[in-house]
Structure 1
Amino acid sequence: MEATQTKSAETAAPSSQPVKEVPKFKAPKKKRKWVKRLIIILVAVALIVFLFSRCMGAGQQIISSAYLPYTAEVRDMTVSVSGTGTIEPLQAYKVTTLVSGEILEAPFEEGQTVQKGDVLFRIDARDLESNIEQLQLNVRSAQLALDDLLKTQSDNQKDRNVKAEDAGIITKLYVDQGDSVTVGTVVADVLDRDHMKLKVPFHSADAQSFYIGQTATVSVTGTAETISGTVDEIAATDEVGPGGTLVRQVTILVNNPGVLSDASQGSASVNGTACASGGTFAYASSGQITAKAAGDLDTLSVKEGDRVSEGQVIGVISEADLETQIENARISLENAQLSLQNAQEKLEDYTITSTITGEVIEKNLDVGDNISGMSSSGSTVTYPAVIYDRSQLTFDMAIDERDISKIQVGQKVEITADALDSQSFTGVVDKVNINGTTVNGNTSYPVTVKVNGAPEELYPGMNVSAKIIVEEAGSVLTLPVEAVERGDTVLVALPGCLDENGLIANLSATEQRQVTLGRNDDNYIEIVDGLEEGDVVVALSPQGSSIMSAMGME
């Protein structure tokens, strides 16, 4: 209020002194402001460009350091397949036994060389030896019992055989196979129809000059037929014939031409001398076959109409009781012999001999100890003795299915032992086993290697690395295996790729090239086409792969 009044007064009454004008405010020019901002922007851009270039250079340097240069070189290549194994002796004998008992002998010492067949342990076998003596007595007793029964059977055999007493035709059978017969049972009738006998008298004076087998002529009464025959029998005494003359009976044997029977009649002459009177023909033989023992007719080998010869066996009569006794006696003898054989074979187990020639590695039992085979404590197995044949050393290698076709028996093997850094050995492939083992879809095959010379430095159980020499390729253009990328390509360095020190300076100065590959060993691979000697290729190093993965560039 007071201020207002003062101001009004001043306005109403202006001062006699001149009033000084207050200067007006002037705004800054806009042009100078934008220049300053532009300078700031340019400085910031330059800074960003500088930092980006530094980062790009560092990134390029990191990427370049992840690669290594490799030069294509001509070298002598040996194609090989590598693996590992554990040295083993050619043969190892770890003593075991099937019997138990006290050790009576152990004539060897640890470290000693024993020959194949040498006695290692002899075990107390007195109880078994006593048992063998008893078993031998059992065998002899069983053999005597069988022999007695066989003798009885042999004595009875002639009566048990059914025989034909004369030759002829079986005209009738009275029994069948399997029938029971007794002594005297008629088995068959036999008739000799092929031969006829004519018994006629001759004057005694004439008959005295005849002899058996002399040719005779027989005339059949009622026919004009004559038959040749032989003198079969001459009576020893004379008898009175018709008219009181002395005659002797002479029997003529003829072959039946088929028309003669026991009703036919005839006469005969010998050496031109006729008989005193005729006679009637008779069959040469006619009789019966009878049983001479009792039992079942086990066999019967003829039928009616069959021809038999004199003494022919046509059947066999069994003696069931005797056969059963003999069979039982045979079984008893066989059982006794088998028991004896088993005991004698078991006796051999009480003497343990070495199955190989070699060095005694362990001797864990001695005289006075009880032996009962091997013993175990946890995972450890203790054998009475262990023998190694170190005249030849071997080991097995597991070869991948991709390489097994390259392996052949006889190939050279280079060997190094983990425990012997400065030494190397040689060997040969001894066996290629095609019985593979598959694990996680990959199959490997065992290959057995024999070490040359059985070096003393190598001990069973040593781990070795081995290289099987598959092929001596000679001088070929090669690259390290890791320098070749998938798809058989390489990254060839162009001018500007490497600096004066041979290090990678500019990775972009490269080109990808297809190559043709050949053979390879563990470290190098043959370049058949696509590169020349001296060409440089670049490839990720093992560390570089990790760097690229960390940067997310792989």
Structure 2
Amino acid sequence: METTQVRQETASQPAAPQKEQKGAAPKVPMPRKKKKWIKRVLALAVLAALLLFLFRSCSGAKNAIVSGSYLPASAARQDLVVSVSGTGTIQPIHSYKVTTLVKGEVLEAPFEEGQTVHKGDLLFRIDSKDVETSIQQAELSLESARLSYDQLLKNQSDNRKNTTVRAAAAGVITKLYVDEGDMVSLGAPIADILDRDNMKLTVPFHAADAAGFAVGQSASVTVDGTLETLSGVIDSISATDSVGPGGTLVRNVTVAVRNPGALSDASSGTAAVGTAASAASGAFAYGESKQVVAKASGELTSLSVKEGDRVSEDQVIGGFDETDMATQIESAAIQVKNAEFTLQNARDRLEDYSITSTIDGTVIEKNYDVGDTLDTSTSSTTGIAYPAVIYDLSALTFDIRIHELDINKIQVGQAVEITSDALDGQSFTGRVDKVNINGTTSNGVTTYPVTVLIDGSPDELKPGMNISAKIVVEDAGEVLCIPVEAVNRGQNGASTVLVAGPGALDEAGNLADSSKLEEREVTLGRNDEAYIEVLSGLEEGETVFIQNASSANPWG
């Protein structure tokens, strides 16, 4: 519109002077009007040129914006190294953060920060008086338990005999204290046995007469009140003399006789040995009066006699369950085991009071010294997490997390390129040391830890430094490549790129019309983070276009 107006004004400029010429005679100022007309023509020409420039500038700007919305890239052959990248933090190959469950005064701490220590070196020795006392007590308990167990084993045959209840003498069962099935304790009475068939009479003889007597020598006994005489033998002679009636010295002599049936412990009599007669009479006693007691404890499983039964000496009259003895031995064995366990625990606790290094390394932290009270339970208030920290700096390592799409590319031994923002311009090398398949899933994506061992343990790298690592998966050599951003992934799995169709480029080869860009399917191969190999679909030198997401097209 503006260009058309300029042209109309230019065509009508000569009309004004012609009118003036028809209506009047020529005037002198004629040359002045001609100069003014020339100026107007020049001004209009400049304005027209300016409008034309602005139009062309706007058209060029539109083409520049369209071209800037897409970045061109050429398909070119280049060396392609396939790699997988990640970040991590430098760590020593081994570290030992000292921990302890005991507390007490530090008696020894023979090391300092920065010092090299070796595996087994003493780091801290803590006062252990209490546990030493516990060890002594445990040793005494173990010794006692072993003695009890050994004694049971030593007496095992006797104990087995003791489970059989036997008559202590020949005679009659006058009293039973237990019944079959009763639980009986050791030493408890079982039965009384009385020998009424044999009687014993103890009488004093003059010491001079008794000195000539001998055990087994024949004697005669006269029963008081009946004057009945019984034959007997000397059963025993007292070893000492005593004062008898009238102040004479006498010695007691016991004579055994058979009971004719009428004698009891209420009867009395006198005795004579040869021509020597007793100095006085004495009381009769039954031949045996014994009590059978339990020599074992437990259930009395059998009892074969009743009161009034006659028994012979050593006759079996009952028995205990032998398993009770076995239970006692087993119980004693358990007590020994428990005592041994208690002692071992006490000795293990004593070892806890001497803390040694588990690795060769350099002391990074020492937080306690001699005289300090070591108590890690107060770490929340003191801020001291560990008594000491030791690093093995003979080798350095780090872990990086690898995406699930790339983990199958990683293998132990692959080379790794390492850089750190803290060490500008420096690079280091390493190798994959371990691939861990224990993945971690977050937001639907699983990553796996890969451990890298750094070559040479360089001094510039310090534990705690953040690094970037590139694992070299494959050196593909020189192949045809395009930028990774140039590839579009379709829903059907096909890969395409944008190339210029007819009318897309201007005469200078710049992109003039993005609507004329065409999609072309390509077959892709290996890639690194920036470039991807093209196996088919493009030729070397062809241009692909990458949509610049940061650009906007105001022309629509």
Tell whether 2:474 aligns with 1:471: yes
Deviation at residue 112 of structure 1 after TM alignment:
0.9
1:6-28 C-alpha deviation (Å, 9 max, x unpaired): xxxxxxxxxxxxxxxxxxxxxxx
1:134-193 C-alpha deviation (Å, 9 max, x unpaired): 2211211221122222222233447879xxxxxxxxxxxxxxxx999xx9xxxxxxxxxx
Tell whether 2:151 aligns with 1:148: yes
Residues 132 and 91 (structure 1), Cα distance of their counterparts in 2 relative to 1, 3 Å cut: same
| Amino acid across the alignment from 2:520 | R
Deviation at residue 364 of structure 1 after TM alignment:
0.9
Deviation at residue 461 of structure 1 after TM alignment:
0.5
Contact 1:121 1:352 in 2 (8 A): yes
Residues 393 and 375 (structure 1), Cα distance of their counterparts in 2 relative to 1, 3 Å cut: farther
* Other-structure match for 1:416: 419
| Equivalent position to 1:458, from 461, 477, 502 | 461
1:352-381 C-alpha deviation (Å, 9 max, x unpaired): 011111110001111111101265358955
| Amino acid across the alignment from 1:520 | N
Paired residue secondary structure (2:125): strand
| Equivalent position to 1:105, from 94, 103, 108 | 108
* Other-structure match for 2:387: 384
Per the normalisation by structure 1, the TM-score is 0.59
Deviation at residue 83 of structure 1 after TM alignment:
0.6
Residues 379 and 136 (structure 1), Cα distance of their counterparts in 2 relative to 1, 3 Å cut: closer
Contact 2:68 2:551 in 1 (8 A): no
Residues 399 and 320 (structure 1), Cα distance of their counterparts in 2 relative to 1, 3 Å cut: closer
* Other-structure match for 1:547: 551
* Other-structure match for 2:452: 449
| Equivalent position to 1:537, from 538, 544, 549 | 544
Tell whether 2:498 aligns with 1:491: yes
Residues 502 and 152 (structure 1), Cα distance of their counterparts in 2 relative to 1, 3 Å cut: same
Tell whether 2:541 aligns with 1:527: no
Deviation at residue 350 of structure 1 after TM alignment:
0.3
- How many Å separate the matches in 1 of 2:555 and 2:450? 43
Residues 158 and 68 (structure 1), Cα distance of their counterparts in 2 relative to 1, 3 Å cut: same
Per the normalisation by structure 2, the TM-score is 0.59
- How many Å separate the matches in 2 of 1:94 and 1:154? 58
Residues 159 and 75 (structure 1), Cα distance of their counterparts in 2 relative to 1, 3 Å cut: same
| Amino acid across the alignment from 1:526 | E
Residues 499 and 54 (structure 1), Cα distance of their counterparts in 2 relative to 1, 3 Å cut: closer
| Amino acid across the alignment from 1:134 | Q
Paired residue secondary structure (2:461): coil
1:103-140 C-alpha deviation (Å, 9 max, x unpaired): 11111111111111111000011221122112211211
- How many Å separate the matches in 2 of 1:370 and 1:363? 14
- How many Å separate the matches in 1 of 2:106 and 2:152? 46
* Other-structure match for 1:247: none
| Amino acid across the alignment from 1:112 | Q
Contact 1:109 1:363 in 2 (8 A): yes
| Amino acid across the alignment from 2:329 | I
- How many Å separate the matches in 2 of 1:339 and 1:86? 45
- How many Å separate the matches in 2 of 1:539 and 1:417? 31
Paired residue secondary structure (2:82): strand
- How many Å separate the matches in 2 of 1:466 and 1:459? 15
Tell whether 2:364 aligns with 1:357: no
Contact 1:66 1:547 in 2 (8 A): yes
Contact 1:374 1:383 in 2 (8 A): no
Residues 411 and 36 (structure 1), Cα distance of their counterparts in 2 relative to 1, 3 Å cut: closer
Paired residue secondary structure (1:422): coil
Paired residue total? 376
Tell whether 2:360 aligns with 1:368: no
| Amino acid across the alignment from 1:132 | I
Aligned pairs (5 A) from 1:482-521: 482-487=485-490, 488-493=495-500, 504=511, 511-521=518-528
| Equivalent position to 1:342, from 335, 342, 345 | 345
Residues 358 and 471 (structure 1), Cα distance of their counterparts in 2 relative to 1, 3 Å cut: same
Deviation at residue 455 of structure 1 after TM alignment:
1.5
- How many Å separate the matches in 2 of 1:501 and 1:356? 71
Aligned pairs (5 A) from 1:170-249: none
Contact 1:85 1:396 in 2 (8 A): yes
- How many Å separate the matches in 2 of 1:361 and 1:36? 88
- How many Å separate the matches in 1 of 2:182 and 2:129? 57
Deviation at residue 396 of structure 1 after TM alignment:
1.0
- How many Å separate the matches in 2 of 1:36 and 1:435? 79
Residues 446 and 96 (structure 1), Cα distance of their counterparts in 2 relative to 1, 3 Å cut: same
- How many Å separate the matches in 1 of 2:504 and 2:139? 98
Residues 552 and 458 (structure 1), Cα distance of their counterparts in 2 relative to 1, 3 Å cut: farther
Contact 2:417 2:472 in 1 (8 A): yes
Deviation at residue 88 of structure 1 after TM alignment:
0.8
Paired residue secondary structure (2:376): coil
| Equivalent position to 1:119, from 119, 122, 144 | 122
Residues 359 and 374 (structure 1), Cα distance of their counterparts in 2 relative to 1, 3 Å cut: farther
* Other-structure match for 1:139: 142
* Other-structure match for 2:401: 398
Deviation at residue 338 of structure 1 after TM alignment:
1.9
- How many Å separate the matches in 2 of 1:492 and 1:408? 38
- How many Å separate the matches in 2 of 1:502 and 1:484? 22
- How many Å separate the matches in 2 of 1:509 and 1:330? 97
Residues 320 and 342 (structure 1), Cα distance of their counterparts in 2 relative to 1, 3 Å cut: same
* Other-structure match for 2:280: none
Contact 2:62 2:555 in 1 (8 A): no
- How many Å separate the matches in 2 of 1:502 and 1:384? 72
- How many Å separate the matches in 2 of 1:128 and 1:329? 26
Paired residue secondary structure (1:58): helix
Contact 1:96 1:374 in 2 (8 A): no
- How many Å separate the matches in 2 of 1:378 and 1:514? 66
| Amino acid across the alignment from 1:539 | I
Paired residue secondary structure (1:103): strand
Paired residue secondary structure (1:421): coil
- Aligned identity (percent) is 60
- How many Å separate the matches in 2 of 1:36 and 1:451? 78
* Other-structure match for 2:273: none
Deviation at residue 84 of structure 1 after TM alignment:
0.4
* Other-structure match for 1:93: 96
Deviation at residue 454 of structure 1 after TM alignment:
1.5
Residues 77 and 153 (structure 1), Cα distance of their counterparts in 2 relative to 1, 3 Å cut: same
Deviation at residue 64 of structure 1 after TM alignment:
1.1
- How many Å separate the matches in 2 of 1:353 and 1:365? 14
- How many Å separate the matches in 2 of 1:36 and 1:532? 53
| Amino acid across the alignment from 1:546 | S
Q: CA RMSD in A?
A: 4.1
Contact 1:374 1:384 in 2 (8 A): no
Deviation at residue 508 of structure 1 after TM alignment:
7.1
Long gaps (5+) in structure 1:
1-34, 162-177, 184-292, 299-315
Deviation at residue 296 of structure 1 after TM alignment:
7.5
Paired residue secondary structure (1:144): helix
